[in-house]
Amino acid sequence: MASDATIPTYDVFVGDPIAQLRARKATIISDQTSTTLLSDSATDPFAPHAPGPLDRAVLGFFVVVPLAAVIVALPIAFIYGWVSILDIAMLVVIYAVGVHGITIGYHRLFTHDAFSAGPKMRAFLALAGSLAVEGRVVDWVADHRKHHQFSDADGDPHSPWEYGPGTRGLTRGFIHAHVGWLFTYSGTDTRKYAPDLIADRAIDRISKLWPIIAVISMVVPTAIGYAVDGWAGALQAFFWVTLVRVALVHHMTWSINSVCHVWGKRPFATRDRSANVAWLAPISGGEAWHNYHHADPTSARHGVLPWQMDTSAAIIKVLEKARLVTAVKWPSPERIERKRAKTDAVPVSSQ
């Protein structure tokens, strides 16, 4: 177990993220290249750019069409029996791999350095996260680091409090945090917020190949369906394993941005409105224990109380025992208690 001394006392990305990344990973960026990291030139491919018409059209497709598929999925399944065990099996497996690729790879490893991993494991987790169809790992990490720097304040890419309190403000803010920000946000400068990943050739290459990986995650299940039952099987597999799966993954992730910053319990002290939402935890790999995550961002475990299911932490523990990951930042019971808000103490779990 990593000692408390190895875990930063608060949010890693409070203040100047570039200065902190240089301090932690000084070998990544040379003095020569560091002068260009903050460039916002229109010719800089890493600089923020507002979504164009094509970007909005693609986003609209992946928001509306999969959601519509989920709405009609259950009636189709139960009334017409238009689903097979193979469809459900592929949906569950690819959902689980993609979600944990996001929670363990994109989030806890690449964004927060909650543990260390060798090149092969890092590449595997980046590939697994790409199956979730949530974008390039470099962009995802940059957006999330910026979210932590400005959580629920000016500069947060997706705070539900963007338009203030009250029914009207929260309604607009909730829609903004859940999905609206994807259509309006100008993007995060990846050279400022994710220079370590850009400097990692393997991760940067996987990031650039993300569209191909995402398409493969859709084509392979469809091809399997075709092999089993012709075009009818292909259409059925595409419906369940691509449309329904993508909708479930996306809306689960977006709910962390929206639901977990509006409703839920806040047993730990934070500077924002992050909260724990128990019903969302099982399908989110433990990400919905969001209040502790914001209280202690680099912790490898988010569900720190004994009854809080955190499958991502459980998998990290297995990987640690298999020596596939190292330097895991497990919070001690004492550390967890120090993070607690002024409430009665309850038993905690360090691992």
Residue 337 has pLDDT above 50, yes or no: yes
Q: In the 8-state DSSP scheme, what is residue 283?
A: G
The mean per-residue pLDDT over the stretch 155-182 comes to 84
Tokens representing 164? Answer: 């203030």
Q: What pLDDT sits at residue 10?
A: 32
The mean per-residue pLDDT over the stretch 7-29 comes to 38
| Average pLDDT of the chain to the nearest whole number | 81
Q: Is 306 exposed, middle or buried (0-12, 13-18, 19+ CB in 10 A)?
A: exposed
- Report domain extents, the chain: 51-339
Which residue type does 346 have? Answer: V
Residue 47 has pLDDT above 60, yes or no: no
Measured CA to CA, the distance from residue 51 to residue 125 in angstroms comes to 27
Tokens representing 124? Answer: 């595997």
Map tokens 């002024």 to a residue.
Answer: 342
The mean per-residue pLDDT over the stretch 20-30 comes to 38
**Inter-CA distances, 349 with 208, 296, 308, 337, Å:** 39, 15, 9, 11
What torsion, rounded to 10 degrees, do the Cα atoms 163, 15, 51, 280 define?
-60
Tokens representing 289? Answer: 């224990």
Cα–chain-centroid distance for residue 117? 18
pTM, two decimals, is 0.79
Residue 19 has pLDDT above 60, yes or no: no
Residue 153 has pLDDT above 60, yes or no: yes
Map tokens 């099996």 to a residue.
Answer: 89
Which of 167, 154, 147 shows the shortest CA–CA distance to 254?
A: 147
Stretch among 33-37, 100-104, 226-230, 304-308 having the lowest mean pLDDT: 33-37
Measured CA to CA, the distance from residue 107 to residue 199 in angstroms comes to 18
Range with top average pLDDT, 38-47, 66-75, 190-199, 310-319: 310-319
Residue 70 has pLDDT above 90, yes or no: no
Residue 2 has pLDDT above 60, yes or no: no
Tens of pLDDT, residues 286-316: 999 999 999 999 999 999 988 899 999 999 9
Helices 245-258, 53-75: inter-axial angle, 10-degree rounding: 110
Q: What pLDDT sits at residue 293?
A: 96
Q: What pLDDT sits at residue 329?
A: 97
Residue 232 has pLDDT above 60, yes or no: yes
